[in-house]
Amino acid sequence: MSSKYIRNRDGLEYSNLHKLALDIVEHGLYAADPYFAVLKSVKRAGKTIVVNGMNFEVYGSVHVIGFGKASKRMAMALYEVLGDLVAGGVVISPEGSERIGPIDIVVGDHPIPGKNTLEASQRLLRYLDEAVHRHDIVFVLISGGGSALFEIPADEITLEELGMLTRELMKRGADIVELNAVRKHLSLVKGGKLLHFIKAEKVISLIVSDVVGDRLDTIASGPTASDETTFFDAYEVLKRYGLWDSAPFSIRQYIERGMRGEVPETLKQGDKLLEKVTNIIIASNRISLEAMASKAKESGFNPLILSPYIEGEARHVGKVLGAIIKSVKELGHPIPPPAAILAGGETTVTVRGSGIGGRNQELCLSLAMTIEGLGNVVAVCIGSDGIDGTSPAAGAIVDGYVVKQAREQGLDPLAYLENNDSYTFFNKLRRAIITGYTGTNVNDLFVALVC
């Protein structure tokens, strides 16, 4: 591994065990880095492109389009590999207009699509129409944030109406699957419908997954994937959150027309358009956990990946993970020490207090209280995007002595937990992990080392 992601490592390496836990997490971040993920997945041999062992012969030109928080770094790496095979492209990023060789990087809006997104999306579709031919290959670079960065609303629906509805759904607690069920049915490019605009017979989508479970139809609203949801599902989501009656007339009218079969559905399994696309996940929570497990094993630990699908209230998940650590330490179950317990996913926090924190630090605080007094145990939990909740930290590092250290400094761990003030707690103890924005997102990463 050629780089370090954690900026304040020197202040966190309290022991060799702490250092190793941070090393393992950095291996997870490296595996999630979109630039290195593309370099690992894509190779060139003359006019043959090899993607994860699959060969694609180049008979025409190669074009690169993309959208998402990781799209720019993915484009940099892909151009580095393919070089003069790339004829051009348009990639939509949340930051920085520039050119990478013949590829235009243009700016879109995030997290709510606006004027920049519409103009960038129209430019991308115009490129597909004018530059791409039947015998070409089109790479589509997809990552989290793509739903907002790439959007063409259906029929008479305006971007303002779509943005308003998106904000209301998010405010009322709709999850990503529910949110995307609505967005896909109000869009001309989501739910596989981007394929209508690509004339090339071969489409290769390289995907960085920010969705627990890696559902292709949910990542960036599945622009090149089949979709199980229907117009009726979109209607049900809006009814469930009390938004159907107040939704703009254009949106209600379009969904009603869809339920009557008067406008096309999203692409379903078996659609012939899907035969030309190969969707490949090159970075995900699971892939990062496997990289972390490999590093742990190389370091002499017995690795156990509990799950990449961990969800639930952060403080409750912290208690459960703490109980598993105790079981490993005291009973040698479900795996004997020296053990590396690994997990991933995305927890949630029900905010009741007024403090500064995030789900990863809240999980760590709850876990620290659960493992109080245990020796030779270190645990780390971070958000792979580098930002945890309302704090400037990515997460925290804890051990069996954090709670004792806090009390010696006059800090009450439970009070900080109840006030959702985990960052303030860990910052005072110099246990908060600072990475800054990492340029990727594969959800949250957890490791506990138990000796």
Task: Indicate the average pLDDT of the chain.
Answer: 96
pLDDT tens across 74-115, in order? Answer: 999 999 999 999 999 999 999 878 999 999 999 999 888 999
**Residues whose CB is less than 8 angstroms from the CB of residue 132 and which lie 6 or more positions away in sequence, other chains included:** 61, 63, 138, 198, 199, 200
pLDDT at 439: 87
What are φ and ψ of residue 437, in 5° steps? -65, 125
d(CA 46, CA 49): 8
Domains of the chain: 9-32+288-450 (3.40.1480.10), 34-152+187-229+266-283 (3.40.50.10180)
pLDDT tens across 134-155, in order? Answer: 999 999 999 999 999 999 999 8
Burial 117-127 (b: 16+ CB within 10 A, else e): bbebbeebbeb
- Measured at the CA of 82, the angle between CA 77 and CA 88, to 5 degrees, comes to 90
**DSSP secondary structure letters along 251-298:** HHHHHHHHHTTSSPPPP-TT-GGGGGEEEEEEE-HHHHHHHHHHHHHH
Nearest alpha carbon to residue 395 among 8, 30, 94:
8
d(CA 212, CA 252): 30
pLDDT tens across 384-420, in order? Answer: 999 999 999 999 999 999 999 999 999 999 999 999 9
**Residues whose CB is less than 8 angstroms from the CB of residue 27 and which lie 6 or more positions away in sequence, other chains included:** 1, 291, 292, 294, 295
Residue 169: CA count within 13 A, CB half-sphere: 27
Going 141 to 144 to 149 to 150, the CA torsion angle's sign is positive
pLDDT tens across 9-18, in order? Answer: 999 999 999 9
d(CA 113, CA 103): 22
Q: Is residue 193 scored above 70 in pLDDT?
A: yes
The percent helix, strand, coil of the chain (3-state, each to 5) is 40, 20, 40
What are φ and ψ of residue 443, in 5° steps? 70, -150
In contact, 327 and 289? CB cutoff 8 Å? no
Give 345's DSSP letter.
E
SS3 state at 93: strand
**How much is the average pLDDT of 212-228?**
95
